[in-house]
Structure formats: structure tokens, C-alpha cells
Amino acid sequence: MNGDFEFLPEAFREVEEATFYYQSCDSDLGFRFRQLVENACAAIARSPLHWNERKGGFRRVNLKGFPYDVAYFIRGHRIIIAAVAHASQHPDFWKQRSGSDR
């Protein structure tokens, strides 16, 4: 999952953990989740300004069919995937991950 974007280690770990969880429920679910994350990242790389900037400077793509968002920042020419966050988590848990120092 690398292209014109970079995953923060925490975000990559969130993808791995969620994929593993869904895989343990049903192998097709794990595959579908991972595919949706990859598709969202490809769409972000193609058109990073498509999604509205939110307070705090991040943008977010919802994963259809799963209670997850892909949150990212644009830093210069870099797109930084900051979190793959479950909807039940506190909405601010990852916001200190600006990626500005990476």
C-alpha cells in the first residue's frame, strides 16, 4: 500500500489489525476491507483535494460498508495517511499525528 502517499506507522498498524480482525470473522471480509483501504488511498493519491479539509487541517474518506475512515494530511507534495480510524473511537485520538515532523 504505497504510492504517492505515506502511512504513519500507527495508521499502517490500524490497517493490519482491522484486516486481521475481519479476516478472523470471514476471509472475504478481510479481503474486502483491505481492498477498500487500498482503493481509498489510490483515490486520495489521484485527487487529494477532493475531500473537504476539516478543522485541524485533515481530510477524511469514509470506507463504505465498514465503520472506518481514512484520515490524511497534505504536507507540501506529500500525502500522509494519519489514521484508519474506527467510528467508535474518540474522534480526536489520532489528531496529534500531523506528520509535520516526518
Question: Which grid coordinates are listed for 31?
Answer: 479481503
Question: What letter would DSSP give residue 100?
Answer: T
Count: domains in the chain: 1
Q: In the prediction, which pLDDT does 93 show?
A: 55
pLDDT at residue 57, as a whole number:
85
**Where residue 59 sits, what CATH number does that domain have?**
3.30.2310.20
Structural domain includes residue 40: yes
- Looking at residue 92, what is its pLDDT? 59
pLDDT at residue 84, as a whole number? 94
Kindly give the parts of the chain with pLDDT less than 50: 1-2, 100-102
Residue 86, pLDDT score: 87
Nearest to 6 by CA among 49, 52, 44: 44
- Domain holding 14, by residue range, is 5-86
Q: What local confidence, expressed as pLDDT, does residue 69 receive?
A: 93
99 is a domain residue: no
Q: Are 36 and 64 in contact (CB under 8 A)?
A: yes
pLDDT at 1: 47
Does 94 reside within a domain? no
Could you tell me if residue 95 is inside a domain?
no
| Residue 101 located in a structural domain | no
Flag whether 97 is in a domain: no
**Residue 1 neighbours by CB under 8 Å, 6+ apart:** 7, 12, 15, 37, 38, 41
- Asked whether residue 61 is assigned to any structural domain, the reply reads yes
Give Dmax over CA atoms of the chain in angstroms. Answer: 39
Domain contains 93: no
Q: In the prediction, which pLDDT does 94 show?
A: 59
